[in-house]
Structure 1
Amino acid sequence: MKILAINPGSTSTKIAVYEDETPILVNNIRHTVEELSEFPRIIDQFEFRKNLVLDTLEAKGIPFDFDAIVGRGGLLKPIPGGVYEVNDAMLDDIAHAMRSHACNLGCLIAAELATLLPSCRAFIADPGVVDELEEVARITGSPLMPRITIWHALNQRAIARRYASEHNLCYENLSLIVCHLGGGISVGTHYHGRAIDVNNALDGEGPFSPERAGTLPAGQLIDLCNSGRFTRDELKKRISGSAGLTAHLGTTDVQVIVKRIEEGDTHAELVLDAMIYQIARSVGASATVLYGKIDAILLTGGMAHSDYIISRLKERISFLAPIYVYPGEDELEALALNALGALRGELPIQVYQ
């Protein structure tokens, strides 16, 4: 089976070509700010990114003869995890999605490219809107605002399955806490194959991150919204995009911040330690969801490369359970293997409706 996996991100489009379980191409197509500034909306980048995928395959000498094309899932309505075949209902919902993110382009590009081949199928897998919350986890103090989940479902689940495989265990039998430490931070409580509690890592819940504000004081946020100082779009950016480390310190680059700390910047140290503190606090809260019975805590994402962050985080949470670190993300491999499992009949293909 030959599979093309496509993962659109805010400043890149990552692609991989797999023959069965073997990667034959992994490529990161980077986009400059100047290139993307030509497009008023993210959805307008569709043709640009699609053509870059085709051009890259041609330049690398990869024949366009795939059994499946799988894209990163977008911000659809809440759905259970798994593999979904792209259909008209999904494409329509993405076209009218209330939240804008580059991941919304994944199913659009996959569907369009699949039409170029006679028997190629288009899939998504474990999109960021996967919702497997326990009912008790949905309730907030206001009936107008139930909790929703927007998180790194694809990578969290891939890392959980990787941990299980490495230890000859079954993911569906484990109780895990998985932390994705990237531009956004999601802390998921995985119980027997379901993420029964996880924060909305995009627009306002959980730890603050390099570019997102996390949970904010509600009263002060309401006052700010009614102050007249900012437009609605400006306020949205102060929650996601221009928040977190970049709002405090002017950069999302943890290496740069750590260097500043080493040079004596005490404010940078306080802010970075505050983020680590909030991550640890979220892990501790997740431990209560599992009644303290945790098989392992898994740390993943780009910031898991940072010894500064990981060492200090371990100091706070190591008493809870064994900790395993998986720096970076396995999203392209996860996409490809989900598509392969669907083609082989090993994973059920779910219908989006």
Structure 2
Amino acid sequence: MSERILVLNPGSTSTKAAVYQDDRPLMTHSIVHTNQDLAPYPALNDQLDYRVALVRGWLAQEGFDLSTLSAVVGRGGIIPNIVSGGYLVDDALSDCLLHHTVFDHASNLGGLMARSFAQPLGIPAYIYDAVTSDELLPEARVTGFKEVTRTSFCHVLNARATGHKYAQAMGRSYEDMNLVIAHLGGGISISAHAHGRIIDSVSDDAGPFSPDRGGSLNMLYVVDLCYSGKYTKADMLKKLRGEGGISALLGTHDCQEVERRIQNGDEWAALVYKAQALQIAKGVGIMLGCFTELIDAVILTGGLANSKLLTDMVIGYLHNLCRVVIIPGENEMEALALGTLRILRGEEPVHTFHPVCPLPAR
């Protein structure tokens, strides 16, 4: 039986929508939101009806019959106490998305938008592989600071989708494989996948520097900077995310521009790019230490995996240690659609959200 799935991916400046027929996109659309567009909606949740109406308008313009849908899936938000995979957007999850998320992020609207479409049609609404999905091993949570417990924070959606794609290409099941998957984008995260579970990860503020993130650093240096009197907390947070990494070192986060500079003989740009490749390889090496079994492959994915110059340098560091595979791109819409398709076909279970009671109001 063929399945039609509406996929919704709200971001800070856009809402992406697509309709999939099984694993094939029938139509896709990206709606851009300017600051002026969003100005009438001071709180994130105020944008819900506005974004739903825009997607409805696009579907109506395309003449799409909503009654032909089997399910709707939205991007998973910043939700506490969840694991990877799909969740039914019911009253409990809707309440969490409205009132109890970890922090404000446009993806928190994904499940709410999905339910707005699905409920009148009597079909299920899901989220899938939210970024806060956390299945770390107990020993991976312990740190040397008694006040700090580690949680997983990585590019779950694209990483798991890429793992499924690689396993399928190999004629195997993702759940039967051991993989290290490095998502290379504006932020870089690296995750260890053991038999379908992300058992550990290096988040985008704890591993390699990237186009606009500072990555990890000896903590004594960070403490010195924090107490130097030169920087506010906001300044330091920008160094971690937004104004760090290649952006800080070269004045641009555009890696195509970096490669042009390298081709034109810029030795500093070449050194910075090689340093990024080395840090990616070192981050992979950290994840290799999480396994008690041999791994099947290291996969480089994300937008930066399109850079042959970068991936060749990473492979140069790792090729004697493990098999390295390149599967570029982020593929978020496809990942949401295929995850939902597996649920509809009974190939994966669907989870029900159970909040820790009482959840603190934000």
Alignment-derived partner of residue 110 in structure 2: 106
Alignment-derived partner of residue 216 in structure 1: 217
User: How far apart are residue 128 of structure 1 and its match?
Assistant: 0.8
CA contact 1:287–1:320 (8 Å) conserved in 2: no
Alignment-derived partner of residue 200 in structure 1: 203
Alignment-derived partner of residue 57 in structure 1: 59
* Deviation larger for 221-230 or 184-193: 221-230
Paired residue type of 1:286: M
Alpha-carbon displacement from aligned partner over 1:296-327 (angstroms, at most 9, x marks no partner): 11111100111111111111111122222111
Alignment-derived partner of residue 149 in structure 1: 152
Alignment-derived partner of residue 238 in structure 2: 237
Alignment-derived partner of residue 11 in structure 2: 9
Alpha-carbon displacement from aligned partner over 1:61-86 (angstroms, at most 9, x marks no partner): 32233331101111111422111011
Asked whether 1:131 is paired with 2:164, we answer: no
Q: Alpha carbon RMSD of aligned pairs, Å?
A: 2.2
In 1, Cα distance between the equivalents of 2:40 and 2:272? Answer: 34
In 2, Cα distance between the equivalents of 1:48 and 1:216? Answer: 42
In 2, Cα distance between the equivalents of 1:316 and 1:173? Answer: 27
Distance 1:246 1:10, change over 3 A: farther
User: How far apart are residue 337 of structure 1 and its match?
Assistant: 2.1
Alpha-carbon displacement from aligned partner over 1:91-139 (angstroms, at most 9, x marks no partner): 3333333333332221122122323x23022101111111111111111
- The answer for unaligned runs of 5 or more in structure 2 is 355-362
TM-score normalised by the chain length of structure 2: 0.89
SS of 2:211's partner is coil
User: How far apart are residue 207 of structure 1 and its match?
Assistant: 1.2
SS of 2:253's partner is coil
Alpha-carbon displacement from aligned partner over 1:7-52 (angstroms, at most 9, x marks no partner): 2234432222012333211233344566557765655543443333
Alpha-carbon displacement from aligned partner over 1:211-264 (angstroms, at most 9, x marks no partner): 222223323333433445444334323222222222222322110111112122
What does 1:1-353 correspond to in 2, within 5 Å? 1-32=3-34, 35=37, 42-65=44-67, 66-94=69-97, 95-115=99-119, 117-201=120-204, 204-291=205-292, 293-353=294-354
Distance 1:123 1:231, change over 3 A: same
In 2, Cα distance between the equivalents of 1:34 and 1:272? Answer: 37
Distance 1:40 1:303, change over 3 A: farther
In 2, Cα distance between the equivalents of 1:114 and 1:337? Answer: 18
User: How far apart are residue 88 of structure 1 and its match?
Assistant: 3.0
Paired residue type of 1:98: V
SS of 1:186's partner is strand
* Deviation larger for 205-214 or 41-50: 41-50
CA contact 2:71–2:123 (8 Å) conserved in 1: yes
Paired residue type of 2:7: A
Paired residue type of 2:195: H
Paired residue type of 1:100: D
Distance 1:225 1:173, change over 3 A: same
Paired residue type of 1:193: G
Distance 1:270 1:292, change over 3 A: farther
TM-score normalised by the chain length of structure 1: 0.91
CA contact 1:294–1:320 (8 Å) conserved in 2: no
Distance 1:243 1:36, change over 3 A: farther
**Count of paired positions:** 350
In 2, Cα distance between the equivalents of 1:305 and 1:167? Answer: 21
* Deviation larger for 96-105 or 342-351: 96-105
Distance 1:105 1:216, change over 3 A: farther
In 2, Cα distance between the equivalents of 1:178 and 1:324? Answer: 9
User: How far apart are residue 195 of structure 1 and its match?
Assistant: 1.1
User: How far apart are residue 275 of structure 1 and its match?
Assistant: 1.4
